[in-house]
C-alpha cells in the first residue's frame, strides 16, 4: 500500500475530523509530483502540517498525533524515492 492510501484509510477509518488535513497533504503531494512545487517547499509545508491546529485539535492523545506524524513522514519519504 502506498503512503497516500495509508493516510486516507487511517483518516477514513479512525479520524474523520482530520479529513481536511489529509486532503491538504494529498494536494501538496500532487503539486510536488506535477512539478508545481519544489521538494524543499513540499517538505516545509508537510512539516507545517505536522504542527497544524487540525492535528492538535483532533489529537487528544499522543497515539493519534504520533500516527499522524508517522504518516506524513512516510509521504515525504515516498516522494524522495
Domain ranges, ordered by start, for the chain:
3-80
| pLDDT for the residue numbered 40 | 95
What 3-state DSSP class applies to 36? coil
| pLDDT for the residue numbered 62 | 66
| pLDDT for the residue numbered 42 | 94
| pLDDT for the residue numbered 68 | 81
pTM over 0.85: no
The series of mean pLDDT values per 10 residues for the chain, 81 residues long, is 79 71 89 95 90 67 77 87 69
Q: Taking the CB of residue 32, how many other CB atoms lie within 10 A of it? A: 20
What 3-state DSSP class applies to 2? coil
| pLDDT for the residue numbered 10 | 76
| pLDDT for the residue numbered 16 | 65
Q: Taking the CB of residue 17, how many other CB atoms lie within 10 A of it? A: 14
Amino acid at each position: 500500500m502506498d503512503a497516500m492510501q495509508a493516510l486516507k484509510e487511517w483518516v477514513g477509518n479512525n479520524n474523520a475530523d482530520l479529513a481536511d488535513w489529509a486532503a491538504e497533504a494529498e494536494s501538496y503531494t500532487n503539486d510536488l509530483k506535477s512539478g508545481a512545487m519544489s521538494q524543499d517547499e513540499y517538505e516545509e509545508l508537510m512539516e507545517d502540517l505536522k504542527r497544524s491546529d487540525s492535528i492538535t485539535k483532533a489529537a487528544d492523545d499522543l497515539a493519534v498525533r504520533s500516527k499522524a506524524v508517522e504518516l506524513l513522514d512516510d509521504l515525504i519519504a515516498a516522494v524522495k524515492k
